[in-house]
Chain A
Amino acid sequence: MSKLNSLAISENGFIFKPSTGESFVTNEIGLFIIQLLKSGKKADEIIQEIIKDFEVDNLTAGKDLYEFLDFLKKENMTD
């Protein structure tokens, strides 16, 4: 199972990492990104989905995505 799929994520944006017992809270956009990553979407596709759903420009969507990916990587939640 991938690290991302092993996470327990609630609809409220509460993330539980079973391998360490740590928990995190993310916002609406973070939750949106995680769900898209879990469904196998690539970065470009995710950016387009963010632009569409959150009505932001390309630059903001990209910034949101890569900041969140950095966070996931830092917390060892992605492979």
Chain B
Amino acid sequence: MEKKKLNIAVTGLNNIDSPGPGVPVIRALKKSGMDVKIIGLAYENLEPGIYMPGLVDKSYLMPFPSTGSEAFLERLAYIHKKENLDIVIPNFDSELFLFIKFNERLKQMGISTFLPTLEQFEERHKDNLPEYARKYNITVPESKPLVNIKELENLPKPLSYPYFIKGKFYEAFKVSNLAQSQYYFNKLSAKWGLPVVVQQAIQGTEVNVIALGDGEGNTVSAVPMRKQYITDKGKAWGGITISDERLLKITHDIIKKTKWRGALELEMIKTDDGEYYLIEINPRIPAWVYLAVGAGQNLPELLCKLALGEKVDPIKEYKTGKMFIRYSWDLIGDISDFEKIIVFGEL
């Protein structure tokens, strides 16, 4: 029997210095055993994924999530009408709320997703991390969400310098004095809104895990990685898969206790004493997903199977010592492609 071609829409095509996960997700899907047509969904007309040769079969511009749900759903319906989408994989934190909220509406349209529930999505927010840690018995650094810049002058103990000041969705800066923290508070609140979160800096090695939960407490896929090269934006520009049983156990426990549904990334600090501090949970596929594929676990493929209601057996094996190193590459495009995106919103 011939395999059905799947029409899969993917967002996050901004393959820049703070890269979105879209391009590696698409590479993973193309490397899978599935027959796929890739529809790229972009928010900006210069997202590199639109123009990369052989990456997407078709691209559409989307309205920013902040435009409102009606415009968002209307545009998705238009794209669905033209492309008959089977699955959509959203990759931005800022759009996830809409995709989760309208999950049922998308399902009625015939578009499958495999995303966390709204409760799972909301309770792991940065500003809720201390409560989350208490509920699920996880160690986290001291932190406090702030809605007013004046609170920086009187942070509760034991919060002390240096600490990280973090935006609601993205970006974090390590600060060592009040002037720095006030500067970044203003910058982050203007860009991502409130609250801004202050989190105690923990000395240690940054280790991350990419994982996929089936929504019933099982970990379908999990690969841990140590960042080898971190950019000034805190992004991994190089990393290596590691064999860390304790880290995997923490991951399995979180997924089991929360019955996590969908992909996630755990960002942790391992101290010299062997303690693990959870600093963030990203409720989506991270941009380094292709390392997991290279190590033997094609997480986007597994996610698609779960989205289609297929039974997926957990994968436990992966190769350690697999590395990724990012690079930048100048694409040469033509103004006519740019024109199509600008004028018609699709390419």
Asked if A56 is an interface residue, CB under 8 A from chain B, the answer is: no
The docked-state distance in angstroms from the alpha carbon of A22 to that of B321 is 10
- Residue pair B226, A18 in contact (C-beta under 8 Å): no
Asked if A39 is an interface residue, CB under 8 A from chain B, the answer is: no
- Residue pair A8, B321 in contact (C-beta under 8 Å): yes
- Residue pair B321, A18 in contact (C-beta under 8 Å): yes
Tell me the minimal C-beta distance from B266 to chain A in angstroms.
Answer: 16
CB-CB under 8 A from B226, the residues of chain A are 20-22
The docked-state distance in angstroms from the alpha carbon of A56 to that of B76 is 76
CB-CB under 8 A from B239, the residues of chain A are 21
CB-CB under 8 A from B240, the residues of chain A are 21
Count contacts on A: residues with CB < 8 A to the other chain: 8
The docked-state distance in angstroms from the alpha carbon of A8 to that of B321 is 9
CB-CB under 8 A from A20, the residues of chain B are 205, 226, 242, 244, 270
Asked if B243 is an interface residue, CB under 8 A from chain A, the answer is: yes
Range for the number of chain B residues in contact with chain A: 10 to 19
Asked if A32 is an interface residue, CB under 8 A from chain B, the answer is: no
The docked-state distance in angstroms from the alpha carbon of A28 to that of B93 is 50
The docked-state distance in angstroms from the alpha carbon of A22 to that of B239 is 11
Closest to B274 in A: A76
The docked-state distance in angstroms from the alpha carbon of A51 to that of B270 is 41
- Residue pair A19, B321 in contact (C-beta under 8 Å): no
A8, A19, A20, A21, most chain B CB atoms within 10 A: A21
Interface string of B214-245 (1 = CB under 8 A from A): 00000000000110100000000001111110
The residue that A19 contacts in the complex, of B225, B228, B242, with Cβ under 8 A, is B242
Interface string of A18-50 (1 = CB under 8 A from B): 111110000000000000000000000000000
The docked-state distance in angstroms from the alpha carbon of A19 to that of B241 is 9
Asked if A58 is an interface residue, CB under 8 A from chain B, the answer is: no
The docked-state distance in angstroms from the alpha carbon of A72 to that of B207 is 22
CB-CB under 8 A from A8, the residues of chain B are 320-321
Interface string of B188-231 (1 = CB under 8 A from A): 00000000000000000101000000000000000001101000
Asked if A68 is an interface residue, CB under 8 A from chain B, the answer is: no
CB-CB under 8 A from B207, the residues of chain A are 21
Closest to B321 in A: A16
Tell me the minimal C-beta distance from A61 to chain B in angstroms.
Answer: 32
Closest to B240 in A: A21
Q: Can you name 21 A-B pairs with beta carbons within 8 Å?
A: A6-B243, A8-B320, A16-B321, A18-B242, A18-B243, A18-B321, A19-B242, A19-B243, A19-B244, A20-B205, A20-B242, A20-B244, A20-B270, A21-B207, A21-B225, A21-B226, A21-B228, A21-B239, A21-B240, A21-B241, A22-B226
Q: What residues make up the interface of B, taking CB atoms closer than 8 Å to A?
A: 205, 207, 225-226, 228, 239-244, 270, 320-321
